[in-house]
Structure 1
Amino acid sequence: MTDRTRRRATWPVTALLALATFAATWGLSPVVTTRSWPRDTAAALVLVAVAVAATRALAVGRADTTSRLRSVTPTLVGALVGAWIVLARFAGPTGRTDLFVGLESFGRASDRFGAALDAIAGSVAPVQGTLPVAMLVVAASVALFLVADLIAVPGRRPALASVPVLVLWIPSLVLAERVPTATFVGTVACLVLVLAADRGTRSGTRSARAVAAGSAVAATAAVTALALAAGGASATLPRFVAASWSDAFTDPGPGMQLSDDLDMQQDLESRSTYPVLSYTLEDSDAYDGVLRVYTLTSFDGTRWHRDDRAEGTSFAADEVLWPQASPDKGQSTTMAVTLAGYRDSIVPIPIEPRAVDIAGTWSYEPRSDELRGDDTTDPGMGYTVEVSPRDLTPESLGRTRGDDLSESRYLDVPQTSHTEDVAAEALAVTAGATTRFEQAVALQEYFRDTSRFRYDTAVAPAASDDAVWDFLTDRSGYCVQYATSMTVMARALGIPARVGVGYLPGQVQRDGSYLVSAQRAHAWPELYFPGSGWVRFEPTPSQRTGAAPEYTLEQTTGTTPATAAPQEVPDLAQQPAPAPVATATSAPVAAPAAGGRDETPWLLCLVLASTLTVGAGLALVAVLRSRRRATADRDVEDVWDALGGDLARLGVGWSAATTPRQVPDHVLRAASRDGTVTIADDAADALRELATLVEGARYAREGSQRPVAEADALAARVVAGTTRLRDDRRARVEV
């Protein structure tokens, strides 16, 4: 290989682009939980980059390097290797790596690709990094790397190659409005090094190299500016100059709403920190800030279902909204709510009696205690609530005043193979309790006992047809399992019960306001007490919800009869419960609003597909232009270098120290010593003529050079007349 050929080695550009792609892919960590996908992405990029670089290295110096097919062959090989990696790693029948890829692998890959899109459409960031989602991340990274490499190497447009790499920033910029610092620094550094490495692969006159250097400086500045603009515009520019990435790439309509199909057997995915709403409280001691969105009463043993919507009634701004007659009130306070990402036709309201001043057409439905509208809310919408909390105490709740609820829907217990077992456990837990309130507190403290139950967002596989019994035996779950189990056990005791769904109190901000994010979504049981109405209890352990409601705390330290030890549940319940695990999640699934549930994922897919298409088109144009330019700029030296590469692969090449006049004799001696390479007389004559032509081009006066077409013809005769007798031995010549 000659010195000029060595300077054309492009593997550093490919390697740096692979590093840049991985750094950019790491930027997805704010929106995709990090499981195995970073490791899988790194492995895939390494293997694909090696395949591309190796294929390209084998093509260096060939006489037909101007062939369009040869220029994209490394990319095609990389695509095949990438497809095999994705199918082998993610399309196996068990979800584990299966090196054998068959036709059925494509079907499984298609199914998992659809599952990934469904997961993205049905979740809020960060999306859980499941196998389908990881497959989508790895496949996208490999595809964008191949497009970037095609633009940078055959297309000779390294600055333009930064565009497909930076596409990987879009999800984080759209959903989290930021990219990690390590991603920003790593990506930009690698892309700048790509420009420097590409300059090293170019050859030509000093003036040409100077032009290339100037172009590299300009391109470096362009790449850095592009990355800075992408990463920092939404954070550094004033709001009136540049809107946030969320505003730029998403419709302002889509937002957050709570899922209304709570499933006892579904894992809780990681919740987003995306703001749902904020509020201020005139007196934070008067109300804790819990907000209801909707109420559930129908449970089939596994899943909760919304009841048929009842007609609500209009109300005045000063009218107290409450299902029963106005109860005894405590200290009132004013809550001013401003919606952010929340979007639904039901607005969050406090779970205590309140008067709501809200613009638009709204109605109150007392049976479910919900405030509904004809249209969905908009970001920035505000309303004021005058909250008048009830004066709830152990004494007031221990007294029975008024009629009890007799509607069967508040007492129905699904009939399963373990219905009687659940009822027996409820009786055992509340043994010794003499009032409904004592029973309720006993159930609450039973579930909050971390020596018995463990908070966990992962739910064990179903072991029976009764999800409540499964929870009582496995003893781990999140708020849906705790709230459902207490509700069903209360009903088994004859206590009307239902489940409320909404948000825990927000986190206090520097300005004194409270911010509620999607992480604060929560479910809790509500039990009915004649004279007081529906009362919230909190069976979910304290590490997620904080202290239990104040009116239940006095009961646990008072003089009321202690409850008997609960009956031991057989099988799994006899095993000691693991230590409690702190978690950052809390609640039922917070899903994108109905108006915009699917738009964002498909928008991102459209952006990605468009970028790939445009990038591939630009790469093809760049390749064709560079090929035409390369053909026009070729000289005798290029032909000589290409021939040297061809003969070197046969074991009869020469080094850069060998002069053109020495080359023919050197090649013939090398072939004679090797014994497996035959050079025909016509090929030897052509080699001598070409050497003379090269020597003349190097040392003769300007204007005496002969056309490159003649050099091509001579080189073709040399290649055609040089053959290897057998392929099992590779000749090597030391020069």
Structure 2
Amino acid sequence: MNREDIGSAVAAAVATLLGAFALKPVYATGAWFPPVLATVVVVLAGGLLLRAAGPALWTRFAGDRPVPGKLGGLAVPLVPIGQMVLVGCLLTALYAPRDAFLGVIPTPTSIRALGAVLSDGSAEMREQATPALPLHGLLALTVVLVGLVAIAIDLVAVAGRQPALAGLGLLIFYCVPVATITGGIGLTAIAAPAAGLGLLLWADQNRRLARRNRSGRRTLLGTGTLLAVRTGVFALAAGLVIGALVPTLTEGSLTTGLGGGEGGGSSTGTSLDPVAALQGQLTLPDPIDLLRVDASVDDPGYLRAVSLDRYDANKGWSLSNLDGERSIADRGSLAPLPSDEQSRRVTESITVLGHDDRFMPVPNSPLTVAVHDGDSRNWRFDETTGTVFGRNVTTAGLSYEVTASEPEPSTALLEASPALPQTNPVQNQYTQLPLLNPSVASLVRDLVADARTPYDKVRAIHGFLTNRANGFVYSLSTAPGTSGDDLTDFLRLRRGYCEQYAGAMAVMVRAAGVPARVALGYTPGKEASDGTRLITSDDAHAWVEVYFADLGWVPFDPTPISADRAVQLPWAPRADAPQNNEPLPTAAAPTGPTQAGPTKQLDPDNTFRPLNLPQSSTAAWLRPTLLFGGGTLVLLAVIATPALIRRLQRRRRLSDGAPAALWDELAATAVDLGIPVHPAWTPRQTARQLAGVVNRTDGASAGRAVRRPDTDPAAVDALRRLALAEEASSYARPGTVSADPELVAALRAARRGLVRATPPRTRALAVLWPSSLLTGAGRRWGDALGRRATGLTRRRPRTV
């Protein structure tokens, strides 16, 4: 490899890495960067080694013999194929090393494991909303994307010798955040790819200057650098301006996300949409049998389906991204309680009747979940929210057994639990709130004014909502509010169902500085004669979970439901319970005008929208195979496009047949083959230069070529005829020169002579990546701008 090829390869790698920074806003953390960096380094190192090893191996085994034409042409595609193999080894080492040879070289078993990871990645694209968690499947797909783009940019910049044209590959990175992010993507995601484009432009200019003047001294800050910097700055400015004007998608997600459901489907009541209301289930004309539970205790607790941990000013409570890395089949306890927490061990055998959901109802703090007659690995556990969810499966027809450790904290333990520091991750995440109505914030301050501990604050808010003396009534029919703020209206009208009570309490607890979230699931149902419990759609419920230091998540239920449905929570008795009829002091209800309402989801319509994501029945290996095959086809299409365009251009010029068109084709052929031709030369000087190449001379001196035995007189004569025809047409009157079939035949003979006189590798590059396309386009753009500028400067002054 020469110095220009090495420089272009390094520039292509650095530009690809800079372009990949467009992915920064797509991920929630920076864990995406190390595998992307490794991918770019592997592609760069692989390309340099393969291009250097090929000639070295040929010289070692073949000596001074020239490389056969066909073999030289095959060398160009072998490099990207080798780079793909190396990227495959990197994917194996990162995500499927267990069954690979030496942890790197793929084996049939490791390929199947890697296919499963890529299949998980496609599922995670459906589940994750941006900014997405850096899960292994998504990162593996990112490595595939970056690897294909890096290989394509390297091929165009090095093998095709067109670094500027390779900059088009950076647009692929822009497509990802533009299609998935709502709002701005940040300055880094725009500036870094723009800098990568500027670097490729500099490499292109530097390479062209080096080819024209190999003996002259080159400096870093030359003409090419200034042009590249100007273009890069223009690209950055255009991105900032145009990016602010282009509309974005309505959903900021990779596709929909588990919590992104405006999902359709009938109101069957057989699943719980984590962002839809429960009211649709609670108003079904006839209850639907969902689950049959055989518990090891007489008074089992809630069956939680999902926890809602994200609160938005417009959408209300919703589910954040779930970490799908851990399967319930993995060893170890899923969600053990802290050692200081008092609990009881519960085992429940659950048979699904009419339930059909991606979220599996389980008791609080599950330790183990075993699916009978099914694959447990398709069920994942999110430790943050305590949610068990299916990967391309639902609960329909399942039978499973859960062992859990239900919390039973004493009031003394809860009183002794201190406030979490602000730097604690749980405290930081689960107390986040938008701007609340001032009257709501004032109500919370009044309720917790005398509270000394987090538990006191929670009891004060819980007591306010559960004290009938305060006028709260359970009702599925609520009067319309007038403030425009659903939370304010609920606290003023004091009528609602379980989701409104739970959502309001969770907001108020967070406003008091205590971590809280909303849980959706089912109450224990009614006991049958055989001791089992039947859970129907009437048992759908929402409650609150509050986090206490050293104790974990503890349930509280502010909804005034009937005693036969309620779960006994000794640490959270209702304020109007018989054992404690003393009501807590009633704080004034919020009144007056409000700001933007924070809880549109708390007062939904009567239409229940079940989560009904499409299921995939495709074999695990088929999806990654299609993804890899599609990426390969795209890469091949990118490789073949310049050759196709160049072929169509040549056909058009030959069909024209005029001397000017044929001379343009001859000049383009010389550029494609890397033959130096100065634009200031006359046609005869150019013909002599090309004749020297055809005759394989060492140069031309005073118009006399130094001949070698292998000459092509027909090609030399054709070059002379084309030059004379070009001169004659240049001085002829317009319209007097017509197409000449003999000149077309002369052009074909001249091209054959030039192609035969060039090395096989150069021939292959001329076919795959014709340089004349870019130089011709640049010349046309420059001429058009020049004509425009001339017209502006020479405009006649207006007369008066």
Band of TM-score, shorter chain: 0.3 to 0.5
- Which of structures 1 and 2 has the larger relative contact order (alpha carbons within 8 angstroms, sep 6+)? 1
TM superposition score normalised by structure 2: 0.42
TM superposition score normalised by structure 1: 0.45
